[in-house]
A and B are shown apart, each in its own frame.
Chain A
Amino acid sequence: MPPYGVIRAGWALHLKSLSMSTFFVFVYLVMPVLLAAIAFYLFRNGARHVSLFEGALGTGMMGLWSTTLFGAGEALTRARREGTLELMVLAPTPLFYSVFAITLASATLGLYSIAATTLCAYLLFGVPIEIAQPGWFAAGLLVSVVSLGLLGVLLASFFFLYRYANALTNLLETPVWLLCGLLIPVALLPGWSVPVSWILAPTWGIETLRAAASGSDAVRPLLAEIGVGIAYLLLGLRVLGWVERLACVRASLPLA
């Protein structure tokens, strides 16, 4: 079966499986309200560098990142617990595709976070939804989902090598919010951290969405995000093969 067939089938299955998680459904319902509140009060009272809607987009992207991170982490931890992780490795399909299906499903669910956060901001705090270039905005969303899914594959490597890699998800959530300029502008960060921001897809994702919303140049950040995504893809294809071999040597696939 061609890779896209594996990704499509795995994506549909994991989307279904993740949306059946009670914990996740609760997070979907509560998180956007919290994020919308953060956006409203932070950007209303602070020295505003973007519009309130663009601020809400930043918090929506925070939700997209969190959902990808925790969704993929939860799916892989559950797969280890259920014993399906070993079966995934045992299948003749290259591991990259089956893992990408999981992380892509998580990132897709993150789209809901962006939609719900901006909607909550509109309904609860009266933040107007203004998108100057809807086409580029949609393209930005699509590329963000795919590139975050690909970034998730790289992070998934840790789940194959370390049984308790789930702790990593907590560790990575907030730094990425800060490094990618989702809450505060990247320009305010220390100089050494800026190159780190550049290699993170959410940096370019939020820049594309904000540019498309305000009507400025969305092509440059979109191309940068596609470039970063391709780098993740090439790295992921190589790393996952290596990780799989190492996991078989270390016997780190089963729970115990």
Chain B
Amino acid sequence: MHPARLVDGPGRHLEVTPQVAIEAHDLRRTYRTSTGTFRRRRIEIEAVRGISFSVLTGQIFGIVGPNGAGKTTTIKMLTTLLQPTSGRARVLGFDVVHDRQEVRRRIGYVVGGDRGLYDRLSGYDNLRYFAVLYGVPGGEQRRRIGSVLELVGLEKRASERVEGYSRGMRQRLHVARGLLHDPPVLFLDEPTIGVDPVGARDIRQTVAALAAAGKTVLLTTHSMIEAETLCKRIAVIAQGRVVVAGSAAAIKDSGTARAVTEILASDVSEATLQRLRGLPGVLAVSTEVRDLTLMIRVQSTVSADLTPAILKQLNGARILNLSSRQPTLEDAYIELVSDLGRVEPN
């Protein structure tokens, strides 16, 4: 067991209050499948193993975690697409199992990636159909579609078939679709995945504006920058459990590293790296090959400058650049999920 560490915010015993828009309590989901042709063998996979958190109205709450950590399963349970194996969850006070229709009326679900749209139809036709499915009154549909298209900047391309859209345009259309019925709660599952930096920034700005307008947003992401920029609170999940939850600053502080020194160098031997690992106060040394050079990251527990000691150990190596910085959310995240023996880069 890896008990969740709550570094700020409300406790694990959740109370329903008017401010709580989303709450999950000990949510679990097990997938059952079978394998083999003649001798069928049943397999059970525990994707989510007791997740609890709450999101306040108007807040952006982020869920980050490696692939297979249970992010999408969690979001699908909260949006009523998957029934939890046990535990309970509510959205705006409505139970996701027993009040599914009430939940569905009040949420928007935005999926990341290429799926979730009718490729052969135009962007406008897609929105019109979903407006009908989401019960937007006939007289209001044109105005709503125009307004969401304008919000995501697709009004000039709306008549084109979706199959010709770029990844970024598709993603913006997803956001527009999720907003059609003006839901108070939005679930965004990796909304910027595969989108170029400018497109991703535009989507982030839209999400920030929505939260500023009072919408509650729960988003999953692999981007630590996105989580740090947008989210008031973040839950790091791994192996189906919340490892830590709190503000970005609190999560950064929850890591043991206090400083990170980055050295771009060449001609670095394994023995040199071992010597660096042996320095007092050094927590971890990671490397990344960059063409003919090596980027060495030294995480240390001490705030004091380790540069002289590091330089001494690198004697004989060719140093191209050296800098020190505060640990980022990504550093803390890698440390947290590495502790569980599982890190999968994007």
Chain A residues in the interface with B (C-beta under 8 A): 1, 5-6, 9-10, 13, 16-17, 20-21, 81-84, 86-93, 98, 245, 248-249, 251, 253
Contact = CB atoms under 8 A, between A and B. Distances in A.
A6 B132 contact: yes
Given A1-B137, A92-B135, A93-B133, A87 B116 contact: yes
A198 to B, nearest CB: 35
B116 A82 contact: yes
Contacts of B81: 86, 89-90, 248, 253
Given A87-B109, A92-B101, A21 B133 contact: no
Contact of A248 (B82, B101, B111): B82
B162 to A, nearest CB: 10
Q: Is the interface of A mostly helix, strand, loop or mixed?
A: helix
A253 B79 CA distance: 14
B135 A1 contact: yes
Given A9-B129, A86-B81, A87-B130, 6 more contacts: A9-B132, A86-B116, A87-B177, A90-B79, A91-B130, A251-B82
Given A1-B135, A1-B138, A251-B82, A90 B129 contact: no
Nearest to B161: A20
A226 B104 CA distance: 34
B133 A83 contact: no
Q: B interface, how many residues as a size bin?
A: 20 to 34
Contacts of A249: 83
Contacts, number: 81
Q: Shortest 3 CB-CB distances between A and B: which pairs?
A: A83-B115, A91-B133, A9-B132
A89 B177 CA distance: 15
Given A5-B138, A253-B81, A82 B104 contact: no
Interface stretch (B118-126, B209-217, B292-300, B307-315): B118-126
B80 A90 contact: yes
B128 interface: yes
18 contacts: A1-B132, A1-B137, A1-B138, A5-B138, A10-B132, A13-B121, A82-B116, A82-B117, A82-B118, A83-B111, A83-B115, A87-B109, A87-B116, A88-B133, A90-B80, A92-B135, A248-B83, A249-B83
A5 B101 CA distance: 19
Contact of A92 (B105, B111, B115, B119): B105
A16 B117 CA distance: 15
A94 to B, nearest CB: 9
B319 to A, nearest CB: 47
Interface of B: 31, 79-83, 101, 104-105, 109, 111, 115-121, 125, 128-130, 132-138, 177
A90 B132 contact: no
B104 A90 contact: yes
Most buried by A among B109, B135, B138: B135
A98 B119 contact: no
Nearest to A248: B83
A242 to B, nearest CB: 13
A82 B132 CA distance: 19
A9 B128 contact: yes
Contact of B118 (A9, A13, A86, A91): A13
B76 to A, nearest CB: 8
Contacts of A17: 118, 120-121
Contacts of A5: 132, 138
B31 A251 contact: yes
A13 B125 contact: yes
Nearest to A253: B81
A93 B135 contact: yes
A74 to B, nearest CB: 12
Contact of A91 (B104, B119, B128): B104
Contacts of A82: 115-119
A161 B105 CA distance: 24
A144 to B, nearest CB: 26
Contacts of A89: 81
A81 B132 CA distance: 22
Most buried by B among A86, A88, A253: A86
Contacts of B31: 251
A86 B104 CA distance: 12
B97 to A, nearest CB: 9
A1 B105 CA distance: 13
Nearest to B178: A87
Contacts of B130: 87, 91
Contacts of B116: 82-84, 86-87
A148 to B, nearest CB: 23
A10 B129 contact: yes
Contacts of B104: 90-92
Most buried by A among B79, B101, B133: B133
B263 to A, nearest CB: 42
Nearest to B97: A248
Contacts of B177: 87
A253 B81 CA distance: 8
A13 B101 contact: no
A13 B116 CA distance: 15
Nearest to B108: A90
Contacts of B132: 1, 5-6, 9-10, 93
